[in-house]
Amino acid sequence: MKDNGKVTNIFLSGVGGQGAILASNILGEVFIKAGYDVKKSEVHGMAQRGGDVTTHFRFGKKVHSPLIKYGDVDYLLSFELLEAIRYINWVKPEGKIIINKQEIFPPAVNLGQMAYPKDIEKTFKKYFKENVSMVDGQGIAKRLGNVQAANVVLVGAFSKFFPEVKDQQWIEAIKTLLAPKLHDLNVKAFYEGKKAL
Amino acid sequence: MKEIMQGNSAIVRGAWEAGVKVAAAYPGTPSSEILKDVADNYPEVYAEWAPNEMVALQVAGGAAIAGARSMASMKHVGMNVAADALMTLAYTGIKGGLMVVIADDPFAHSSQNEQDSRNWARFAKIPLLEPGDAQECYDFAKISFDISEKFDTPVILRTETRVAHSDSLVEPGKRVESKIPLGLDPKEAPKYVMIPGHVRVRRKIIEERMRKLEEYADTFKYNVMEINDPSVGVITSGVSYMYTKDVFPEWSYLKLGMVWPLPKKMIAEFFKKVKKVIIVEELDPFIETEIKAMGYKIWHGKDLIPNMYELTPEIVEKSLKGKKYKAPKVKVKPEDLPRRPPNLCAGCSHRPLFYALKKLGAFVFGDIGCYTLAVAPPLQALHTCVCMGAGGGMAHGAMKALGKEGLGKVVAVLGDSTFLHSGITPLMNAVYNKGNSTTIVLDNRITAMTGHQEHPGTGFTVRQEPTNMVNYMEIGKVFGVKSIRYLDPYNIKECMEIIKEEMSKNEPSLLLCKDSPCVMLRRAKPMEKFKNPLYVIDTDKCRGCKACLEINCPAISWREGAGKTTDGHKRKGTVYINPDQCVGCEVCVQVCKFEAIVPGKK
Sort out which chain B residues have CB atoms less than 8 A from A83's CB and list them: 340
B438-442/B229-237 β-pairing: unpaired
Q: Is the peptide bond before B378 cis (omega within 30 degrees of 0)?
A: yes
Q: What is the nearest CA distance from B144 to chain A, expressed in angstroms?
A: 23
Q: Do B345 and A85 touch (CB under 8 A)?
A: no
* A165 in contact with B, Cβ within 8 Å: no
pLDDT category of residue A167 using cuts at 50, 70 and 90: very high
Full DSSP string of B534-548:
EEEE-TTT-----GG
Mean pLDDT of A6-17: 94
Domain ranges of chain A: 8-196
Q: Do A32 and B169 touch (CB under 8 A)?
A: yes
Q: Do A41 and B167 touch (CB under 8 A)?
A: yes
pLDDT category of residue A1 using cuts at 50, 70 and 90: very low
Question: Which residues are paired to B511 by β-bridges?
Answer: B440, B485
pLDDT tens profile B98-110: 999 999 999 999 9
Q: How many CA atoms lie within 13 A of A104 on its CB side?
A: 24
With CA atoms as reference, the chain B residue closest to A71 would be B328
pLDDT tens profile B184-206: 999 999 999 999 999 999 999 99
pLDDT category of residue A50 using cuts at 50, 70 and 90: confident
Q: Is the peptide bond before B261 cis (omega within 30 degrees of 0)?
A: yes
Query: A 14-73 residues with CB below 8 A of B?
Result: 15-16, 28-29, 32, 37-52, 63-72
Best of A104, A110, A177 to disrupt the B interface (most B CBs within 10 Å) is A110
Best of B337, B444, B546 to disrupt the A interface (most A CBs within 10 Å) is B337
Mean pLDDT of B537-564: 95
Q: Is the pLDDT of residue B210 over 50?
A: yes
Contacts of B166 (CB under 8 A, 6+ apart): A39, A40, A41, A42, A66, B6, B7, B133, B134
Q: What is the mean pLDDT of chain A?
A: 93
Mean pLDDT of B64-90: 98
Best of B339, B340, B368, B521 to disrupt the A interface (most A CBs within 10 Å) is B340
Q: Do A86 and B337 touch (CB under 8 A)?
A: yes
Measured at the alpha carbon of residue B502, what is the angle toward residues B497 and B505, in degrees to the nearest 5?
130
Sort out which chain A residues have CB atoms less than 8 A from B520's CB and list them: 48
B224-226/B251-256 β-pairing: antiparallel
Q: Nearest by CB to B4, which of A28, A106, A112?
A: A28
pLDDT category of residue A4 using cuts at 50, 70 and 90: low
Instruction: Pick the closest to residue B22 from B99, B128, B136 (CA basis).
Output: B99
| Between B341 and A55, residue with greater pLDDT | A55
What is the C-alpha radius of gyration for chain B, rounded to an integer number of angstroms?
27
Q: What is the nearest CA distance from B343 to chain A, expressed in angstroms?
A: 5
Sort out which chain B residues have CB atoms less than 8 A from A117's CB and list them: 337-338
Instruction: Pick the closest to residue B172 from B336, B316, B17, B309 (CA basis).
Output: B17
According to the model, what pLDDT value does residue B1 have? 86
B155-160/B229-237 β-pairing: unpaired
Beta-carbon pairs below 8 A across chains A and B: 153
With CA atoms as reference, the chain B residue closest to A64 would be B242
| Between A12 and A50, residue with greater pLDDT | A12
According to the model, what pLDDT value does residue B602 have? 76
Mean pLDDT of B432-449: 97
Q: Nearest by CB to B370, which of A15, A49, A123?
A: A49
List, as own/partner pairs, every contact residues B199-205 make where C-beta atoms lie below 8 angstroms and the sequence separation is at least 24, other chains included.
B199/B91, B202/B91, B202/B92, B202/B93, B203/B91, B205/B93
CATH of A8-196, one of 3.30.1330.30, 3.65.10.10, 3.40.920.10, 3.10.20.600: 3.40.920.10
Sort out which chain A residues have CB atoms less than 8 A from B243's CB and list them: 64-65, 67
The 3-state secondary structure of B469-506 reads CCCHHHHHHHHCCCEEEEECCCCHHHHHHHHHHHHHCC
* A117 in contact with B, Cβ within 8 Å: yes
Q: Cα(A80)–Cα(B90) distance, rounded to whole angstroms?
A: 50
Q: Is the pLDDT of residue B435 over 80?
A: yes
Q: How many CA atoms lie within 13 A of B201 on its CB side?
A: 11
Cα–Cα separations (whole angstroms), residue B433 to A63, A138, B429? 59, 60, 6
Residue B88 burial (CB < 10 Å; 0-12/13-18/19+)? middle
With CA atoms as reference, the chain A residue closest to B556 would be A110
Q: Do A65 and B242 touch (CB under 8 A)?
A: yes
Mean pLDDT of B404-417: 97
Question: Which residues are paired to B43 by β-bridges?
Answer: none
Cα–Cα separations (whole angstroms), residue B315 to A70, B303, B312? 9, 13, 5
Domains of chain B are: 3-219 (3.40.50.970), 224-323 (3.40.50.920), 350-527 (3.40.50.970), 530-600 (3.30.70.20)
Q: Do A82 and B340 touch (CB under 8 A)?
A: yes
pLDDT tens profile B235-257: 999 999 999 999 999 999 999 99
Cα–Cα separations (whole angstroms), residue B598 to A139, B111, B348, B590, B595? 29, 39, 19, 11, 7
What is the residue type of B260? W
Element (H, E) at B264: helix B264-273
Q: Is the pLDDT of residue A2 over 60?
A: no
pLDDT tens profile B98-149: 999 999 999 999 999 999 999 999 999 999 999 999 999 999 999 999 999 9
- pLDDT above 90 covers a percentage of chain A that reads 83
Sort out which chain A residues have CB atoms less than 8 A from B2's CB and list them: 32
* A162 in contact with B, Cβ within 8 Å: no
Q: Is the pLDDT of residue A48 over 80?
A: no
| Between A197 and B14, residue with greater pLDDT | B14
Q: What is the mean pLDDT of chain B?
A: 97
Q: How many CB atoms lie within 10 A of CB A7?
A: 20
